[in-house]
A and B are shown apart, each in its own frame.
Chain A
Amino acid sequence: DAMVIQNPRYQVTQFGKPVTLSCSQTLNHNVMYWYQQKSSQAPKLLFHYYDKDFNNEADTPDNFQSRRPNTSFCFLDIRSPGLGDAAMYLCATSRGGQPTDTQYFGPGTRLTVL
């Protein structure tokens, strides 16, 4: 089945130690998104890629970066995680950037910062 896959599902890191979260998709979608979700709150968009074009949200901390080496994969890098970065990180994809396009989410990676 076509899907959005996130690895690992659970990640524990230490304060200040860089961490990378991975997302892959078999949907062949053009757009990939990264969201941060805290404590069952609404997901907060961090950034997205339309193909190779990177779009950063204005309020996304510089500590967060992303890479998309090819259509299928997208990575979220947290350079120096703080305690406040502990959250669920959700990857999503959509076929295009049209407002009618559905976003499909992966299962998420829960990040714990010690």
Chain B
Amino acid sequence: AQSVAQPEDQVNVAEGNPLTVKCTYSVSGNPYLFWYVQYPNRGLQFLLKYITGDNLVKGSYGFEAEFNKSQTSFHLKKPSALVSDSALYFCAVRDINDYKLSFGAGTTVTVRA
């Protein structure tokens, strides 16, 4: 079985400061990891994914994520947060044996001006 945990319900940061949203996963095989962002009353927007290769993945809107196999983590990062980054962020995982995406519970990010 596969699962994802997002240990923080909320993350609050000041604009211009680094932003980190945490994600840990559990899969039986190799993980395929995804980050999505959701703005109010909108669908999920794909940010980035890890399939294989370089542990540091760069994505949309200046976001990046670091895959750490030993810690089974895939934390989302942005060096300098913007107020417009305030949204709900979902981490998701698939393994090779499952067609379904398993989502974490989501983390609400608030960036204050």
Contact = CB atoms under 8 A, between A and B. Distances in A.
Interface of A: 4, 6, 40-43, 45, 48, 55, 88, 90, 92, 97, 99-100, 102-108, 110
A41 B90 CA distance: 10
Nearest to B91: A42
B99 A99 contact: yes
Contacts of B100: 45
Given A99-B32, A108-B41, A42 B46 contact: no
A45 B96 CA distance: 18
Contacts, number: 54
B106 A90 contact: no
A76 to B, nearest CB: 14
B82 interface: no
B43 A107 contact: yes
Interface residues of B, number: 26
B88 A40 contact: yes
A92 B90 CA distance: 15
B42 to A, nearest CB: 6
A76 B41 CA distance: 19
A99 B94 contact: yes
A41 B95 CA distance: 22
Contacts of A41: 105-106
B66 to A, nearest CB: 19
Contacts of A43: 44, 90, 103
Contact of A42 (B43, B49, B106): B106
B96 A99 contact: yes
Contact of B43 (A40, A55, A106): A106
Given A45-B100, A104-B46, A110 B41 contact: yes
A45 B102 CA distance: 9
B84 to A, nearest CB: 18
B70 to A, nearest CB: 22
B99 A42 contact: no
B41 A103 contact: no
Given A40-B106, A42-B105, A102 B41 contact: no
Contact of B44 (A45, A55, A97, A105): A105
